[in-house]
Chain A
Amino acid sequence: MEFSELIRTGRAQAELLRGPGAPPLRGTLCVTGHHLLLSPGPQATSDLWLLLLRSVDSIEKRVAGDSGTITLRCKDLRVLQLDIEGVEATLDIARSIEALSSLESVITSFPFFYRPKGLRLGDAWHFHPPEHHYKRVARETNAWRLSEVNEDFSVCPSYPRAVIVPRAVDDDALARSARFRQGGRFPVLSYHHAPSGTVLLRSSQPLTGPQKRRCAEDEELLRAVLAGARPGARGFIVDTRSAQAAKQARMTGGGTEAKAAYPGWKRLHRPMERGRPLQESFVRLVEACGDLEQSMDRWLSRLEGCRWLAHVKEALSTACLAAQGMEREGACILVHGAEGTDSTLLVTSLAQLILDPLSRTMTGFQELVEREWIQAGHPFQLRCAHSAFSHARPKHEAPTFLLFLDCVWQLGRQFPLSLEFGEGLLLALFEHAYASPFGTFLCNSEKERCLCEVRTRTHSLWSGLNQPKEQRKLRNPLYVLNPLAIWPSVEPQSLRLWQGLFLRWTRPPEPSEAAWEKVWQIVTDKEKTEGSQPTVSASEPQP
């Protein structure tokens, strides 16, 4: 397919309004295969303005007289307005943007063309393989092994090639357990908590169905988990659905672990919102935050009606419960809902942040996102196809990953010295998950990424982010290694609306930027002083 077929008009004169704070920009507007460009006239001082078409979430056009207006609502929640000369030009540009921004083909997407200076293809893709995580686990315990039963993705299409499983369970048993779990997602290790000798596992629901089927290998697997943990360890299965929903799932072939079949394991139900209701919650919140007519009288109830903060509370509490079970109760925890690709990952990744000081470092957090979200098979392409502005009826969209980022932000607010990364990294991950020049968040699973040759044909976001010039934006200058678990408060008084994300484009950025600069200055002043030598030492007499 040629992009040129979709581009109806090459260029037009336009003025761009970028919201409060930014001055309007005039110049020549241009649509290319992947970008919208605005090139200010030769007399202008500002540079070329560039927008990745993939990041357009919805487009609205209006024409009046001999000009038109296009409103672009972007996936990063920005709202842009283009005033364009000429009715025809407006309509043509609008149609081109519409067509190009909704292309579904992965291999013609921009990451396959993006070749930034200073980065080499293939860099950083080797940063976080399952082997890397296994090395750490193997240093701590001998009870687990790296299995390549999924080498060709045939056992579980949404798992990576290698997963960590109990040493006592062989690959055949794994394959049989996989057949008993939705989408083949048999229980695998998510995190080994060395101090308590317990583990965090994740899977999908067992396919018990109305006949209450059982699977000996699956039961054996969970038995082996307890046997490999600290002596006398119990297990808890945290089901992210209500007891009723789990029971109903039997009608459609799913279900949950029968108590009698898994001795030593106890089930807990923590219902979490998912799918369409979660997406709608996101849409409502963005709408509320953009409503400048909203009066203070009704703002809090409107915020309540969005339910978003309730979901944040829910997610954090469930993660805390899982972490607490391990650290305080010395129990092993298995987390699953239905598919095991959404709220399950939310819980396991947050629990690790709470417990594991390493995951709170810059590289540790990137590894966590790579391992617990990308390689764990969170279907990014489906979930992040549209953001909060799309008029299209949501199909598979859900802001689960954004909810994760929000929870991490809440953790950072309550423990401002304990995360090595700052809000900047969370904002960047949000943006890139929805539209990115990098290949990291492409596709829905490792299998798909493999088929599309994402690793060899696109650049990794991690190599982009880890360039020295990005560090000041992404790092938390206040970071001090905290070797302890960080237990957040999940009381409503302690949770806040994440203004840095939801009001990012509507409030003036200067005050918080000034504060950030000052924090950096205080910290670097200290570093400079520490590094300085007595100045007269140049003439220090030599012995």
Chain B
Amino acid sequence: QSLCVHLNYPLYIRSVPTQGELKFHYTVHTSLDVVEEKISGVGKALADQRELYLGLLYPTEDYKVYGYVTNSKVKFVIVVDSSNTSLRDNEIRSMFRKLHNSFTDVMCNPFYNPGDPIQSKAFDSIVSTMMVQAC
């Protein structure tokens, strides 16, 4: 299971378990294509929260990839094992919501320049809590 914050280049990646991270990198990159496809398909300018959640992007061999994009085109990608079927859609949604809020907290910090890798400890702790809950 891993989580990634992307702006077409990774701003933040966290995995549990930590090995196999490269595989997650690859998965996330490929999933970006699907994300792009979904957001470019939207004709009207929809800013509704619901639309930001892209849902199950692509169920691959072992795991599922969920996507979420913000209004500023920052993408959140969550990869979970298929064995972890206990994760319902709503849980994923709430995870993305929390992520988004933590992300905006990080953004609010004037010392953070958009485009920098995210180094906020608060953000890290929130992500860790979430991943522990999900596992």
**Are A and B co-members of a single complex?**
no
